[in-house]
Amino acid sequence: MSEFKPDTTLNPRAAWYVIAAGVVAALQVGKLPPALPVLGQVLGVSLLQAGFLLSLVQLAGMALGLVTGLAVQRVGLKRSMVSGLCVLALAGALGAMAPNAYGLLATRVLEGLGFLWVVLPAPALVRRLVPPEKLNGMLGMWGAYMPLGASLALLAGPCVISLGAPQWGWRILWWLLAAMAGVLALLVAWRVPAESPATIGASAHSSSGRLIGATLRSRAAWLLAMAFAMYSGQWLAVVGFLPSIYAQAGVAGAWAGPLTAFAAAVNIIGNVAAGRLLGRGVRPLALLGTGFLVMAGGALLAFAPQVSPVLQYLAILGFSMLGGLVPATLFSLAVRLAPGTDTVSTTVGWMQQWSALGQFAGPPLVAWVAATTGSWQWTGWVTAASSALGLVLALQLQRLPAMRAVGRIAARTGKI
C-alpha cells in the first residue's frame, strides 16, 4: 500500500486545471450521442456502427492502458497531459473533415489515444498537488470528470449542431471541441507545475519490467480494474443510447438531449458524495455495494415493460446518480492500494485498460441485444449481470489485507 509523499510544491488551485482537462477529454467522448441521429442521416451510420463509434474511443485504452501508464510515469505527468490534449485537438479537427463513417471511426481511435494520455496522469497529479486531508474530496471531483463532460456535451451538443445544416452542424461541434482541447493544453502547460527533474529521472531509471510486474502481481490492481470495467461498460451503454431510445419511444428531439444530459449529470452527485463519505470514514465496500445494487435495480426497472415513463426516468436517474459512488471510490482506492508510489500511474493505467474494455464491449453488446430482440427491454438484464459481477469483485476487494489496513486507518483518523 503506497503512502502520500509529495515531490512538488502543493498547489490545490492547479488541481482544478487537471480536472478541467479531464472534462474536456470527456467532452470528446460525450459529443457523439447527440450527433448520432444526424450522422445516421448524413453519413448513413447504422445502429451497430453507432455502437462502435461510441466504444472505439476506448480502443487505445483497451490495448495500451498499462503500457501508457508506464510511459506517463517516465515522460512526466504534466507533459503527458499536455500531449494528450494536443492529440485530442488534432483528432477532433480531422474528425470534422471526415467524409464518411469509416473516416470518423479512424479519428475516434486517435481520440482514444489522446483521452488516455489525459486521464491516466490525472489521479497522480491531483495527489501531488493537494494536501492529504483534501485528497479524497478532490479525487471525488476527479471521478466526476466523465459524467460532467458527457452531460455538457449532451446538453450543448444539439444546440451547436442546430447552428448549421445537418451536414455541417455536427462538424461545427467537432471543430469547437477541438479548439477547447487546444486551449486547455495551453492552460495546463502554463498553470500546472511539473514534477521535479529528479522525480522524472528516478522514474526513468526504474525497471519497466519491475513496475509492470509489480502492478500485474497486485491482486488489488486486478480487482479494481475488473470492477471498473463492470461499472463503465454499463454506464456508457445506457447513457450513450438514451437519445436513440427516446427517439424510438417518440420523445421529441428537443427533450431527448436535456433529459439525457441530466441523467448523466446526476452521476456527479455520486462521485462527489463518495469523496466526502470516504473522508468521513465510510467503508469503501458500503459505497461500492450501494452503487452496484442500485445500478442493477435501476436498470431492471427502467427497461421493464409496462412501466410508466416517469418511473422509468426516475430509475435511470437512480442508476446514474448512485452509480457515481463506484468510480470515485475505485480511484481513491487505486491511489492508496497501488503497490508503490511509482506504480500509481501503471495501476490507474491497468484500471483504464479494463474500463476501456468494458466501454468497448458494453455499447455494441447492448445494441446487438436490442437489434436482435427488437426492443430495449433486455438491456436491464445485461447491465444487472455486470452489476452482480461488480458486487462480487467488491466483496473480494474487501478481503485484501491491504484493504483491512486502510479500514483501520480510516477508523482511527476519519480518513481513507
Of residues 28, 274, 239, 9, the one with CA closest to residue 142:
274
Of residues 52, 373, 2, 43, the one with CA closest to residue 215:
2
Mean pLDDT of 123-144: 86
pLDDT for 182 equals 97
> Is it the case that residue 57 has pLDDT exceeding 50?
yes
d(CA 314, CA 312): 5
> Residue 129, exposed/middle/buried by CB under 10 A (0-12, 13-18, 19+)?
buried
Q: Per-residue pLDDT tens for 257-267?
A: 788 888 888 99
How many residues are listed for the chain in this entry?
Answer: 416
> Is it the case that residue 199 has pLDDT exceeding 60?
no
Of residues 50, 242, 249, 46, the one with CA closest to residue 155:
242
Could you count the other beta carbons within 10 Å of the beta carbon of residue 43? 18
**For residue 111, what is its C-alpha cell?**
481520440
> Is it the case that residue 6 has pLDDT exceeding 50?
no
d(CA 146, CA 16): 15
> Is it the case that residue 4 has pLDDT exceeding 50?
no
- Which H, E and C letters describe the chain, residue by residue? CCCCCCCCCCCHHHHHHHHHHHHHHHHHHHCHHHHHHHHHHHCCCCHHHHHHHHHHCCHHHHHHHHHHHHHHHHHCHHHHHHHHHHHHHHHHHHHHCCCCHHHHHHHHHHHHHHHHHHHCCHHHHHHHHCCHHHHHHHHHHHHCHHHHHHHHHHHHHHHHHCCCCHHHHHHHHHHHHHHHHHHHHHHHHHHCCCCCHHHHHHHHHCCHHHHHHHHHCCHHHHHHHHHHHHHHHHHHHHHHCHHHHHHHCCCCHHHHHHHHHHHHHCHHHHHHHHHHHHHCCCCHHHHHHHHHHHHHHHHHHHCCCCCCHHHHHHHHHHHHHHHCHHHHHHHHHHHHHCCCHHHHHHHHHHHHHHHHHHHHHHHHHHHHHHHHHCCCCCHHHHHHHHHHHHHHHHHHHHCCHHHHHHHHHHHHHCCC
Mean pLDDT of 244-259: 69
Q: Per-residue pLDDT tens for 329-348?
A: 998 898 888 888 778 878 88
> Is it the case that residue 270 has pLDDT exceeding 90?
yes
> Is it the case that residue 154 has pLDDT exceeding 90?
no
d(CA 31, CA 158): 9
What CA dihedral angle connects 381, 328, 88 and 130, to 10 degrees? 180
pLDDT for 19 equals 94
pLDDT for 204 equals 52
pTM (two decimals) = 0.76
Q: Per-residue pLDDT tens for 91-115?
A: 999 999 988 888 888 898 899 889 9
